[in-house]
Structure 1
Amino acid sequence: MNHTTHPPDHTVRERTGAATAAPPPARTAARRRPTSQQWAAWAFLAPVTLYLVLFYAYPLYRNLDLSLRDYTVRSFVQGNAPFTGLENYRKVLDDPTFGPALVHTVVFTAVCLVFQYAVGLALAVFFNQHFRLSATLRALFLVPWLLPLIVSASTWSWMLNSDSGIVNSLLSVVGVDPVHWLTSPEWSLTSVIIANIWIGVPFNLVVLYSGLQSIPHSLYEAAALDGANAWRRFWSITLPLLRPVSAITLLLGLVYTLKVFDIIWIMTKGGPADASTTFATWSYRLGFGNLLPAFGPGAAVGNLLVVAALVFGLVYLRVQRKQAMA
């Protein structure tokens, strides 16, 4: 007796090409649930998000709130300061210190950026020759960058002291009269600029040297075979290929230099007679340097620095986008 077995219905449907049944609702719901990889991604993002909210978003919001209200010490603690709108910004713009502080901030930032980049680039090209002891000398140039800023500023204050500083002692050897570096309105801004350049050169050296390492050496060899001298190779190969690294170096240097406070405050405290006052030191002096602090105007000056850094950052992004599309 022959027994014929029949395959299940779903097997017949698959062989005949018929449509299969829809997955059960439980399986569809399971697919919509976050997977373990997605939970892991959120777990890794959570600390960064919390850090940005606590140390960036909230301070910016708090600083904006300070600049829009009339805060006193009591209202700062109790939290019932009246809303004044843009009154604090008007006070800042009408303050006699605004004009000199703006000029000093621009001069301080521009001069430091130019000299830090120029000296850093020259040193990077020099150390790119890979001569003996180049690694040791390059490490020594990093010392100003590794020292705490309070140590560097205190050292420069001692070196530029009018009476016992080593700089005036060296100048006296060649017959130059002592210079009042830190106590003269004509020299105080120059003094803090010199100190900040010395501190910022190692950063430019490290970043630009790393950029030089990515340039193929074969390009220099081909240019040398074509008769290009060292200066021509620098202008035609080094600078163009180093442009992206130079852009980010200048942007980071700009943001850092705009907010330099500790060097100026330790060396001159913005004086004498506001001769070295910048927006950073002025903001601190308004908010914390007086017996009756002006929290609102101090926050307003700080917000002006934030806006300036944001504008330059947007300009940098726009330039980078144009270069990428070119």
Structure 2
Amino acid sequence: MTIARVDRPRRSPAASGATGSDRRSQARSLRRRRRRSRLTALAFVTPLVAYLAAFYAYPLYRNLDLSLRHYTVRSFVAGDAPFSGWDNFAQVLHDPAFSPALRNTMVFTFVSILFQYAAGLALAVFFNRHFRLAPTLRALFLVPWLLPLIVSASTWSWMLNSESGVVNHALHLVGVAPVDWLTSPHWALTSVILANIWIGIPFNLVILYSGLQNIPAELYEASALDGASGLQQFRRITFPLLGPVSAITLLLGLVYTLKVFDLIWIMTKGGPGDSSSTLATWSYQLGFGTLLPEFGPAAAVGNILILIALVFGLLYIRVQRRQTP
């Protein structure tokens, strides 16, 4: 039996040359696509980098430079302030006003966050029942969050006015003596905390309500079949599963509340005395509230506040990374 031999066709040099040319053409095309992709990505990133550099990096650098030099009005204009190192920070830390400002900042922040979270969580659980007027009422609760802070602060100043405020008028109707909400050292900080709680509740409500929507309804149905009460369902299901959302809500609230200035300044200007002064209002007073502004110490107080907010910001990033699967 004879087996026919089939010879494979050999590629001609011309064909081989054409294949090499095609490969080089494909490589050039791939390099062009990669270069075009990098240029496109750079075009999108450049405006963001420019914005961050102009409105974040440069102001932070200028604030740090202010805190490390001895500035006066003349040297601020001329730009020849002598370098003073950490003297401004030492002056701030040894200032008698530092301890009340730091204490008021911590009290204002943590009390506001505690009550905002508690009220927001209670309202989120309430609206999660999906009754008929729930969407309308939930939308109305967002009004304090949507109003400009200057409007909210002015409204609260009018309501808490010692002579013509609606709050003291209501207290008078029930036989309670009027309270000097904004002019008493004992009540000024409480007044701004109440206003800040009212403003921050909608934020907590929105975030926590969104977290509740992600909890499977089957868990509640199964627990109800097992005889669990509403309180037991909240303790065993709702609150534990809201842990990640609660952590993000609290940390964002902390970072935001630490920086609150306009609300306090409009209502009390940090007074009377230093009873409602915080690091934010004290920094403003040092830099702009006196005839002889102290730009260096004011910038130092601002940097301390930035450092505190940065610590909580890094904590937020760490918690977020832990929650990412």
TM-score of the two chains, using structure 1 as the length reference: 0.91
> Quick check: 109-118 or 212-221, which moved more?
212-221
In structure 1, C-alpha distance between the alignment counterparts of 2:202 and 2:132, rounded to whole Å: 20
Deviations 1:149-179 (Å, cap 9, x if unpaired)? 1111011001001111110111111111110
Match of 1:149 in 2: 149
Match of 2:36 in 1: 36
Q: Does 1:272 align with 2:272?
A: yes
> Quick check: 31-40 or 308-317, which moved more?
31-40
Match of 2:82 in 1: 82
Match of 2:225 in 1: 225
5 Å matches for 1:104-119? 104-119=104-119
In structure 2, C-alpha distance between the alignment counterparts of 1:275 and 1:93, rounded to whole Å: 18
Match of 1:165 in 2: 165
In structure 2, C-alpha distance between the alignment counterparts of 1:30 and 1:211, rounded to whole Å: 48
In structure 1, C-alpha distance between the alignment counterparts of 2:258 and 2:199, rounded to whole Å: 14
> Quick check: 40-49 or 129-138, which moved more?
40-49
5 Å matches for 1:212-291? 212-291=212-291
In structure 2, C-alpha distance between the alignment counterparts of 1:296 and 1:268, rounded to whole Å: 25
> Quick check: 31-40 or 177-186, which moved more?
31-40
In structure 2, C-alpha distance between the alignment counterparts of 1:127 and 1:73, rounded to whole Å: 55
Match of 1:292 in 2: 292
Question: How far does residue 49 in structure 1 lie from its aligned partner after superposition?
Answer: 1.2
Deviations 1:103-130 (Å, cap 9, x if unpaired)? 1001000100000000001001111111
> Quick check: 118-127 or 38-47, which moved more?
38-47
In structure 1, C-alpha distance between the alignment counterparts of 2:288 and 2:223, rounded to whole Å: 58
In structure 2, C-alpha distance between the alignment counterparts of 1:31 and 1:25, rounded to whole Å: 10
Question: How far does residue 13 in structure 1 lie from its aligned partner after superposition?
Answer: 10
Question: How far does residue 39 in structure 1 lie from its aligned partner after superposition?
Answer: 1.8
The amino acid that maps onto 2:292 is: L
In structure 1, C-alpha distance between the alignment counterparts of 2:210 and 2:23, rounded to whole Å: 57
Q: Does 1:8 align with 2:34?
A: no
Change (3 A) 1:166 1:288: same
Runs of 4+ residues over 6 Å off in structure 1? 22-27
Which residues of structure 1 form unaligned runs of 5+? 15-19
In structure 1, C-alpha distance between the alignment counterparts of 2:205 and 2:183, rounded to whole Å: 32
Secondary structure at the aligned position of 1:35 is classed as helix
In structure 2, C-alpha distance between the alignment counterparts of 1:28 and 1:68, rounded to whole Å: 55
Change (3 A) 1:76 1:32: farther
The amino acid that maps onto 1:8 is: S
Match of 2:4 in 1: none
Question: How far does residue 7 in structure 1 lie from its aligned partner after superposition?
Answer: 4.3
Secondary structure at the aligned position of 2:44 is classed as helix
Match of 1:17 in 2: none
Q: Does 1:138 align with 2:138?
A: yes
Change (3 A) 1:13 1:287: closer
In structure 1, C-alpha distance between the alignment counterparts of 2:113 and 2:10, rounded to whole Å: 85
In structure 1, C-alpha distance between the alignment counterparts of 2:153 and 2:97, rounded to whole Å: 24
Match of 2:182 in 1: 182
Match of 2:126 in 1: 126
The amino acid that maps onto 2:57 is: A
Match of 2:196 in 1: 196
> Quick check: 243-252 or 159-168, which moved more?
243-252
Contact 2:101 2:279 in 1 (8 A): yes
Question: How far does residue 64 in structure 1 lie from its aligned partner after superposition?
Answer: 0.7
Change (3 A) 1:31 1:80: farther
In structure 1, C-alpha distance between the alignment counterparts of 2:110 and 2:302, rounded to whole Å: 19
- Cα RMSD for the two superposed structures: 2.2
The amino acid that maps onto 1:210 is: S
The amino acid that maps onto 2:89 is: Y
Change (3 A) 1:178 1:12: closer
The amino acid that maps onto 1:224 is: A
Match of 1:57 in 2: 57
In structure 1, C-alpha distance between the alignment counterparts of 2:24 and 2:75, rounded to whole Å: 58
Deviations 1:39-69 (Å, cap 9, x if unpaired)? 2221111111111111111111111111101
Change (3 A) 1:6 1:268: closer
Question: How far does residue 265 in structure 1 lie from its aligned partner after superposition?
Answer: 0.4
Which residues of structure 2 form unaligned runs of 5+? 1-8
Question: How far does residue 32 in structure 1 lie from its aligned partner after superposition?
Answer: 4.4
In structure 1, C-alpha distance between the alignment counterparts of 2:281 and 2:16, rounded to whole Å: 83
The amino acid that maps onto 1:99 is: S
In structure 1, C-alpha distance between the alignment counterparts of 2:244 and 2:297, rounded to whole Å: 38
